[in-house]
Amino acid sequence: MNKAKGAHFSGLKLSLALVLGLLLVPAYVVAPVLFTELESVQAGLIAGKIFYMSNLAILILLVSAAVFAYRIQVKKSTWYLLGLVGFMVAINVFGVTNMMSMIKAEAGDISALADDDPLRWAFAFWHGMGSILQLISSLLVVVLVMRNDSSHTQETQV
């Protein structure tokens, strides 16, 4: 592997590692601490802002990963995984988050709603969808980060 290709490969790995950190830390470290230490409404507002900002940063990092991937001519499977992660994060940030915000705007404090309230069920559904997308995205990025040189790049004949 020449120096330029090695640098682009390192850039790809760094971009993916940062994406992984932004997927894992807010979801599995920050949010649980917020909901343990703060009231539900306040924790939810802060967590929502953190998820929104981290998901936007993830989308930017995925663009940089795509640039590096293009430079080293990755296999189609890597492109598919990168695209799938980008699609799921975009759905989360622009779809799921908006649905949850609309429900919260209408319902107010979700925890104050009756257990059988349709808005509480709707919020739980969208929260679950967001959590599933977050988990699957995290696992796919782990796969991308763990791949080695030869599984990422196409073999070129000289």
Which residues are within 8 A (CB) of 15 and not within 5 positions of it... i.e. 6 or more apart? 61, 62, 64, 65, 68
Q: What is the pLDDT of residues 46-91, one digit of tens each?
A: 999 999 999 999 999 999 999 999 999 999 999 999 999 999 999 9
Stretch (H or E) spanning 65: helix 40-72
**119 vs 113: CA distance, rounded Å:** 8
Please list the ranges in the chain whose pLDDT falls under 70: 1, 148-158
Domain ranges of the chain: 3-148
Q: What angle do CA 55, 91, 76 make, to 5 degrees?
A: 90
Number of H helices, E strands in the chain: 7, 0
Structure tokens at 63: 């663009």
